[in-house]
Amino acid sequence: MASAHAKTKRPGGIVRTLMMGIWLPAVFLAGLLCSFLPAFHHPTPHHIKVAVAAPPATTAQLQHRLDTAVPGGFTLRQVDSAAEARSAVLNDDAVAAFAPAPHHPQLYGAKADGVAMETIVRQVFTSVAQNAGATLDFHELVPTRPGDTLGTSPFYLLMACTLPAYFLVATMQRAVGFSRRAHVATLVGGGAVAALACYLTGAYGMDAIPRHPLALLYLFLLTQSVSLTSYGLVSFLGPFFPGASVTLFIMLSVPSSGGTVSVDLLPDFFRFLHPVLPMGNAADALRNVDYLGDRQLGRPTAVLCAWIALGTALIVLGYVKHLRRLVREARAGMTGYVPVPPVEDPTVELPEPVALPPRRHHFGEQPPMLTGRVSGPAGEPVPGATITVTDPRGRQLLHTRTDHNGEYAATGFHDGFAVVVAGASGRKPVATRLLLSTETPLNQDFILTSHRPAGAALSR
């Protein structure tokens, strides 16, 4: 005989469940309000470099006028000729070049530095020319590619590499039968596929990025920076890894990437993050490959590789941590070890039966739907007893074992009836039919008697 005891949720449990459901949306809300909004709502020039082909006195006078109009917005560099000023733009030593003249001053820009950047520079220097009673002539030195009119297509390709890389980590947590090595191999393979798809679409389908092998390489390095680091965080942050990964690789990386708003137009905080986070470095690498002839790739390459190295180190340390835990459990005499439950992003979680460690449930972890204890007639625990859950048609949903205390726990079932069978070597199996519900956890204990003719097998 077997019986189930439904546990009624207390007010504290309801609050706990509610908090578990809303913490990740709260991270997104905070990120959008505290990261995206401050970064994008009012782009302002910050020390934009402009080469000026004029005498030092004229350059100083122009600097003073700009500081009055836009304090701290522009940093002028005096050069000897218009040709040298144009060369500064082509070599990425300056965002724009200016050659003053009495009636038709010349401004040279680079749309590849960002459409928003070029627009602001043109507006400011047009105003300067008009105040002097002159008409500004503008010349485009570095236009964007034909398929990238607004200069933002590479950003969306970078997003198309970043998001699948993160979500692959989240969904792979369901592959509990995979080894750590298989997980990593899947992340590398998935990243290669995502990078290749983005490269072929952007380079050959849209002509938005260069048809250069280095472009493919940097897209792949971005996927690995995100996926390996996110996967490495799982061992240390557990159920909170989605919040950390989303914050690092989306909430902070997107506004600081310079993909939609040029870096020199962002607040100080995001300009500081730009050379540190993966997306900004991947954006710089694509731009350098496309417009600067493969120059200035040292920093983007080093930073992306550093993130990959960090992710690899976290994975190795997580593996060492896992081995140490197994050693501690072995020394404590634990048997019937139950694997650690999958750590998931609630936004991509799919119901699937999975065994949980039969212990106190911590905030952020999956709550058990079914718990219980298997014991003998005298109340002694039966470690290593098998617990099999099937649907009414006999299809196996879950197979696990009890721990050293004879306890088990599981979750991920759909609402409905299921058959739970407990068995152990030398003991008579016991089965019971339960109505499982995501709303009400059940506790099902079993008592297993030996095969010797005695009383009927009981469980409570």
Q: Determine contact, residues 297/289, Cβ cutoff 8 Å.
A: yes
3-state helix, strand, coil in the chain (%, to 5): 50, 15, 35
List the single range of 73-77, 262-266, 358-362, 454-458 with lowest mean pLDDT: 454-458
For residue 459, pLDDT over 60 is answered with no
Mean predicted lDDT score pLDDT of the chain: 86
Three-state SS for 153-190 is HHHHHHHHHHHHHHHHHHHHCCCCCCCHHHHHHHHHHH
12 pLDDT higher than 80? no
Per the structure block, which two tokens stand in for 397? 């949903």
How high is the pLDDT of residue 73? 92
State pLDDT tens for residues 403-428.
888 999 988 888 888 999 999 988 99
Average pLDDT on 87-97 reads: 92
pLDDT the model gives residue 366 = 67
Report the alpha-carbon distance of residue 230 to residue 249 in Å, rounded.
9
Q: What span, in angstroms and rounded, lies between the C-alpha atoms of 240 and 345?
A: 8
Tally of CA atoms within 13 A in the half-sphere of 173 that contains its CB? 29
Q: How does residue 24 score in pLDDT terms, banded at 50, 70 and 90?
A: confident
User: pLDDT at position 266, please?
Assistant: 93
CB 17 within 8 A of CB 367: yes
pLDDT surpassing 70 at residue 361: no
Domain coordinates in residue numbering, the chain: 48-140, 150-324, 351-447
Phi and psi for 374 in degrees, rounded to 5?
Answer: -110, 125
Whether the full predicted model's pTM is greater than 0.95, yes or no, is no
C-alpha Rg value of the chain to the nearest Å: 31
Each residue's pLDDT tens digit, 166-189: 999 988 877 666 788 899 999 999
Count CB atoms within 10 A of the CB of residue 153.
Answer: 21
Q: Quick one: pLDDT at residue 350?
A: 52
The token pair at 143 is 């236009």
Q: Is the pLDDT of residue 218 over 80?
A: yes
Two domains, one topology: 48-140 and 351-447? no
pLDDT at 196 over 80: yes
pLDDT of 445 above 80 = yes
Which of 298-307, 335-344, 385-394 has the lowest average pLDDT?
335-344
**Rounded mean pLDDT of 160-165?**
96
So what's the pLDDT on residue 151? 87
pLDDT-based confidence at 460, cuts 50/70/90?
Answer: very low
Cβ atoms within 10 A of the Cβ of 297, count?
16
Per-residue confidence (pLDDT) for residue 340, from 0 to 100: 56
Q: Confidence band (pLDDT; 50, 70, 90) for 339?
A: low
Write the DSSP assignment of 28-70 as a string of letters.
HHHHIIIIIHHHHSS----SEEEEEES-HHHHHHHHHHHHHHS
Average pLDDT over residues 339-357: 64
For the ranges 59-63, 153-157, 345-349, 376-380, the lowest mean pLDDT is seen at 345-349
Chain Cα centroid distance, residue 367: 24
pLDDT at position 393 over 50: yes
pLDDT of 4 > 50? The answer is: no
Question: Are 370 and 444 a contacting pair, CB within 8 Å?
Answer: yes
Q: State the pLDDT at residue 188.
A: 96
- The kind and range of the H/E element at 79 are strand 74-79
**Contacts (Cβ under 8 Å, ≥6 apart) of 153:** 145, 147, 202, 206, 208, 209
At 105 the pLDDT is 93
CA pair distance 242, 24, nearest whole angstrom = 8
% the chain with pLDDT above 70: 86
Q: Which CATH number fits domain 351-447: 3.40.50.720, 3.60.70.12, 3.30.450.40, 2.60.40.10?
A: 2.60.40.10
Q: Residue 454: is its pLDDT beyond 50?
A: no
Tell me which CATH code domain 48-140 carries: 3.40.190
* Phi–psi pair at 172, nearest 5 degrees: -70, -15
pLDDT band (50, 70, 90) for residue 323: confident
